[in-house]
């Protein structure tokens, strides 16, 4: 029972369990699914979502949100795509793309962190502006005829059936994860998201942390845009449209709270695999892709509702434990020791579960 | 100069409404001077008709945002209404108004479900309505597959008494759908500003615990606002279906940004507790005429129109935050200090 409790509290892990259960169910319905190639394909298709979702997760950690990532990705994709088409060397094009991401991140950071504008609305505005710029830049045309080597590189496999892109991205995500939980600076993000004023009072530079989160988010979306070019092979002016919502959904599926301070980038990566592979899984289950959105919506709603109910229950239980401790004959320190034994690491770890109250 | 502007921005809703009216007048002067056609009543009514769904829905999304929530699923409910009417009428042989009734029940149930999850299960409004936007647009797509018509074609050929909604014009100029909007405007205004219910919505937005302790059933209030937006989505869906003459599952899918822009531009706080129906209505007109006037008078391609609308939203939201302190100097300073720290 204790183990179950622990597992329920580690949301990143429970979403991984959900993903595995999903694979097993689909495999039971259609054994053709259970080959390494098809399972690897589920992960490989998620590579762009993973990048965008990890970026968005940073803004969610600090208690804000970024819905401009879709257009950010689109803009970088059309700029990098058209530069490569016109014969610019790849490193230069990538550098320009990433600089665009940094610039967009700085603009969002200026609005949200410095001018204190509500993040959802500010980034909704920049999303519209960026999408308009994409149309101005491309004149409504598709960007085609990308270099063949660049397109073909997306199919090159690294470890097993996983593409080089996915291996690189997942290595990056793991690196970020450890940077976040092992370094002092990494903890700042969650601290600012948990309580910005408190973080400022203990000497954390809250403003810089917020700016950094938005810049990271912009850069991740920009890298996503470059890989998008390579994987898809052409770029339409609508590229990346709707990615912001899918990225937020992936974060939520992976246990990142929109209230800030809770979650991990690994969870966001697992959530992205779920989001990206749903349409793929449906084909193996014999449904048409028309069910795609409906099932995504159901999964998202069910997961967040169950999560909210569990959280509420644990808040009530904690409160009862606290109140009982006040009237119990035992010494307070003993009760406290028991509580730490019970809720232990989860209660002590800054990345652990936080009681969310509406 | 700067100071008076600052004071003006941070003052109450009345002066904000004056700014919006000023923007409207400015649009009329500039667009009217650039191209006389802009001022023709027939064209103006066309531009209003094109944007009526945004007008209608933003009124009630204002109520949701006053409670401190947000509704990004409402655009998918417009498509759900439209396709339910189309499929119900064409493939299930319901009378047209019967199909509208079915759509009404279905869509309000959808709104109630989201409202229930937000109010009673304490899930964030943003997450639930994000899930809802996937779920209900997916549902609309599934309903469209029940039809023998291919979904991309749209279901058309509605009877005359349905098209009446969009065809009838009072005194030969004022479209009937505009009258529906004015009625909704009056209802929303009375609801938010003149009734006990409106005071309750506002108090829930200011402080839900305080509302709960003063005997208000805050959860029921929150849930009801999502049902009201669903009702407005049904009306908008009916009007849009009749106006375009086709029922499609993705009608109105791109309205979300305009709706939120209208509500925020109208002076409603996204954190809740403060909002104005008149402001929302004025703001939605500002956006609609901007979208109509720029292509007509300055030959701006309609694809580019997200830029001015987005800039308007960004500028307004920054100006309002700036009116309550902070400046760009702090930003530059923090950048410098962070980069010098990185070097060290």
Query: What's the pLDDT tens digit per position in A96-144?
Result: 999 999 999 999 999 999 888 888 889 988 998 999 999 989 888 888 8
DSSP string, A267-315: HHHHHHHHHHHHHHHHHHHT--GGGHHHHHHHHHHHHHHHHHHHHHHHH
**Pairwise CB contact (< 8 Å): A122 & B141:** no
CB of A107 within 8 A of CB of A126?
A: yes
**Pairwise CB contact (< 8 Å): B131 & A133:** no
Min distance B121 CA to chain A CA atoms (Å): 6
Is A146 part of any domain?
yes
Q: How many CB pairs under 8 A join A and B?
A: 175
Q: Does A212 reach chain B within 8 Å, measured CB to CB? A: yes
**Residue B339 confidence (pLDDT):** 55
**Residue B14 confidence (pLDDT):** 72
Candidate ranges B34-38, B69-73, B104-108, B333-337; pick with highest mean pLDDT:
B104-108
Q: How confident is the model at residue B333 (pLDDT cuts 50, 70, 90)?
A: low
Q: How confident is the model at residue B48 (pLDDT cuts 50, 70, 90)?
A: confident
**Residue B187 confidence (pLDDT):** 94
Q: How confident is the model at residue A3 (pLDDT cuts 50, 70, 90)?
A: low
CA dihedral (A246, A251, A254, A259) positive or negative: negative
State residue B149 phi and psi, 5-degree precision.
-80, 140
Q: How far is CA B206 from CA A65, A234, B65, B261, in A?
A: 22, 49, 11, 22
Q: Does A125 reach chain B within 8 Å, measured CB to CB? A: yes
Tokens of A312: 């509420």
What gap in Å lies between CA A292 and CA A285, rounded to an integer?
A: 12
**Residue B209 confidence (pLDDT):** 87
What gap in Å lies between CA B169 and CA B160, rounded to an integer?
A: 14
Partner residue facing A304 (CB), from B131, B208, B308: B131
Output the average pLDDT for chain B: 83
Apex A296 CA angle, A295 and A298, nearest 5: 60
Q: What is the mean pLDDT of residues A63-81?
A: 93
Chain B residue at shortest CA distance from A129: B307
Q: Is B12 exposed, middle or buried (0-12, 13-18, 19+ CB in 10 A)?
A: exposed
pLDDT tens per residue across span A331-355:
667 767 776 776 655 555 544 444 4
A163 - beta bridge partners? A157
Apex A214 CA angle, A211 and A219, nearest 5: 125
Chain B residue at shortest CA distance from A112: B318
**Pairwise CB contact (< 8 Å): B128 & A212:** no
CB of A163 within 8 A of CB of A47?
A: yes
Q: 3-class DSSP state for residue B174?
A: strand
Partner residue facing A293 (CB), from B70, B134, B307: B134
What gap in Å lies between CA A315 and CA A286, rounded to an integer?
A: 42
Which of B69, B67, B65, B105 shows the shortest CA–CA distance to B85?
A: B105
**Residue B343 confidence (pLDDT):** 47
Partner residue facing A115 (CB), from B303, B318, B341: B318
Q: What is the mean pLDDT of residues B208-234?
A: 92
Q: What is the pTM of this model?
A: 0.83
**Pairwise CB contact (< 8 Å): A293 & B70:** no
Tokens of A332: 């307070």
**Residue A2 confidence (pLDDT):** 60
Chain A residue at shortest CA distance from B139: A294
Write out chain B residues lying below 8 Å of A237, CB-based.
Answer: 303
CA dihedral (A232, A234, A238, A244) positive or negative: positive
**Pairwise CB contact (< 8 Å): B126 & A258:** yes
Chain A residue at shortest CA distance from B205: A358
For B50-194, list the strands marked E by DSSP.
Answer: 169-170, 174-175
Residue A301 belongs to domain spanning:
2-351
**Residue B113 confidence (pLDDT):** 94
pLDDT tens per residue across span A220-244:
999 999 999 998 888 898 888 888 8
Least confident of A101-110, A202-211, A296-305: A296-305
ipTM of this complex: 0.79
pLDDT tens per residue across span B280-325:
999 999 988 888 888 888 877 777 888 888 888 888 888 877 776 4
Q: What is the mean pLDDT of residues A150-154?
A: 81
Is A356 part of any domain?
no
Is A243 part of any domain?
yes
What gap in Å lies between CA B58 and CA B71, rounded to an integer?
A: 10
pLDDT of residue B344 exceeding 50:
no
Q: 3-class DSSP state for residue B175?
A: strand
What gap in Å lies between CA B333 and CA B336, rounded to an integer?
A: 5
Question: The domain spanning residue A299 has which CATH number?
Answer: 1.10.3470
**Residue B9 confidence (pLDDT):** 53
Min distance A305 CA to chain B CA atoms (Å): 6
Q: What is the mean pLDDT of residues B120-125?
A: 86
Least confident of A132-136, A159-163, B211-215: A159-163
**Residue B176 confidence (pLDDT):** 83
What gap in Å lies between CA A355 and CA A314, rounded to an integer?
A: 8
Is A358 part of any domain?
no
Which of B316, B270, B256, B330 shows the shortest CA–CA distance to A64?
A: B270
Total domains, chain A: 1
Number of other residues whose CB lies within 10 A of the CB of residue B302 = 11
**Cα A254 to chain center, whole Å?**
8
Q: How far is CA A228 from CA A102, A194, A231, A234, in A?
A: 18, 33, 5, 9
Interface test with B, best of A106, A292, A305 (most B CBs within 10 A): A305
Partner residue facing B338 (CB), from A111, A208, A296: A208
**Pairwise CB contact (< 8 Å): B134 & A290:** no
Q: In chain A, positions 139-158, which contact chain B (CB-CB < 8 Å)?
A: 140
Q: Does A188 reach chain B within 8 Å, measured CB to CB? A: no
Is A116 part of any domain?
yes
pLDDT of residue B250 exceeding 60:
yes
Is A357 part of any domain?
no
CB of A221 within 8 A of CB of A108?
A: no
What gap in Å lies between CA B172 and CA A321, rounded to an integer?
A: 71
Chain A residue at shortest CA distance from B141: A290
CA dihedral (B172, B177, B182, B186) positive or negative: positive
What gap in Å lies between CA B305 and CA B233, rounded to an integer?
A: 24
pLDDT tens per residue across span B133-145:
999 999 998 888 8
pLDDT of residue A184 exceeding 90:
no
Q: Does A135 reach chain B within 8 Å, measured CB to CB? A: yes
What gap in Å lies between CA B234 and CA B244, rounded to an integer?
A: 15
- Between helices A119-138 and B256-265, what is the axis angle to 10°? 130
State residue A66 phi and psi, 5-degree precision.
-135, 110
């Amino acid at each position: 029972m204790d183990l179950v409790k622990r597992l329920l509290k580690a949301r990143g892990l429970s979403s991984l369990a959900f993903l595995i259960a999903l694979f097993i169910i689909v495999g039971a319905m259609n054994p053709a699914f259970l080959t390494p190639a098809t399972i690897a394909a589920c992960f490989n298709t998620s590579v762009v979502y993973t990048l965008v979702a990890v970026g968005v997760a940073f803004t969610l950690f600090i208690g804000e949100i970024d819905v401009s990532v879709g257009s950010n990705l689109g803009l970088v994709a059309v700029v990098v795509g058209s530069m490569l088409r016109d014969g610019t060397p790849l490193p230069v094009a990538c550098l320009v793309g990433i600089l665009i991401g940094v610039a967009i991140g700085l603009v969002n950071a200026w609005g949200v962190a410095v001018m204190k504008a509500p993040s959802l609305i500010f980034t909704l505005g920049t999303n519209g502006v960026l999408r308009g710029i994409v149309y101005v830049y491309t004149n409504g045309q598709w960007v085609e005829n990308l270099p063949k080597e660049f397109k073909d590189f997306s199919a090159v496999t690294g470890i097993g059936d996983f593409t080089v892109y996915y291996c690189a991205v997942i290595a990056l995500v793991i690196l970020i994860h450890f940077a976040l939980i092992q370094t002092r600076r990494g903890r700042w993000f969650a601290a600012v998201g948990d309580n910005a004023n408190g973080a400022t009072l203990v000497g954390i530079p809250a403003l810089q942390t917020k700016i950094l989160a938005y810049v990271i988010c912009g850069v991740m979306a920009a890298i996503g845009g470059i890989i998008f070019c390579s994987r898809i092979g052409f770029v339409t002016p609508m590229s990346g449209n709707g990615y912001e919502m899918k990225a937020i959904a992936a974060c939520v599926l992976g246990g990142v709270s929109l209230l800030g301070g809770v979650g991990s980038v690994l969870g966001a990566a697992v959530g992205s695999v779920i989001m990206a592979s749903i349409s793929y899984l449906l084909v193996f289950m014999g449904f048409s892709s028309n069910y795609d959105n409906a099932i995504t919506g159901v999964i998202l709603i069910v997961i967040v509702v169950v999560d909210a109910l569990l959280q509420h229950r644990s808040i009530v239980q904690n409160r009862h434990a606290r109140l009982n401790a006040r009237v119990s004959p035992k010494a307070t320190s003993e009760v406290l020791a028991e509580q730490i034994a019970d809720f232990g690491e989860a209660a002590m770890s800054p990345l652990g579960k936080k009681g969310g109250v509406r | 100069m700067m100071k008076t502007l600052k004071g003006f921005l941070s003052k109450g809703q009345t002066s904000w409404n004056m700014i919006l009216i000023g923007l409207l007048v400015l649009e009329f002067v500039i667009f009217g001077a650039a191209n006389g056609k802009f001022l023709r009543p027939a064209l103006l009514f066309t531009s209003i008709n094109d944007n009526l769904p945004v007008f209608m829905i933003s009124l009630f999304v204002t109520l949701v945002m006053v409670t401190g929530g947000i509704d990004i699923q409402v655009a998918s409910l417009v498509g759900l209404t439209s396709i339910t009417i189309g499929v119900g009428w064409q493939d299930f042989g319901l009378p047209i108004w019967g199909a509208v009734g079915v759509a009404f029940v279905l869509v309000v149930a959808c709104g109630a479900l989201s409202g229930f999850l937000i109010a009673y299960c304490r899930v964030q409004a943003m997450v639930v309505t994000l899930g809802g936007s996937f779920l209900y647009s997916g549902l609309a797509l599934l309903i469209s597959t029940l039809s023998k018509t291919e979904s991309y074609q749209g279901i058309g050929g509605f009877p005359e008494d349905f098209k009446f909604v969009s065809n009838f014009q009072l005194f030969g100029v004022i479209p009937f759908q505009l009258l529906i909007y004015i009625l909704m405007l009056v209802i929303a205004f009375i609801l938010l500003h003149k009734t006990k219910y409106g005071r309750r919505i506002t108090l829930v937005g200011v402080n839900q615990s305080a509302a709960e302790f003063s005997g208000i059933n805050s959860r029921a209030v929150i849930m009801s606002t999502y049902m009201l937006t669903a009702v407005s989505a049904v009306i908008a869906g009916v009007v849009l279906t009749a106006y375009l003459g086709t029922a499609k599952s993705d009608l109105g899918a791109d309205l979300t940004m305009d709706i939120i822009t209208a509500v925020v531009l109208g002076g409603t706080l996204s954190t809740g507790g403060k909002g104005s129906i008149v402001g929302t209505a004025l703001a939605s007109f500002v956006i609609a005429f901007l979208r109509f006037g720029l292509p007509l008078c300055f030959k701006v391609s309609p694809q580019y129109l997200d830029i001015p609308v987005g800039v308007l939203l960004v500028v307004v939201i920054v100006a309002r935050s700036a009116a309550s302190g902070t400046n760009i100097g702090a930003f530059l300073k923090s950048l410098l200090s962070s980069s010098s720290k990185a070097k060290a």
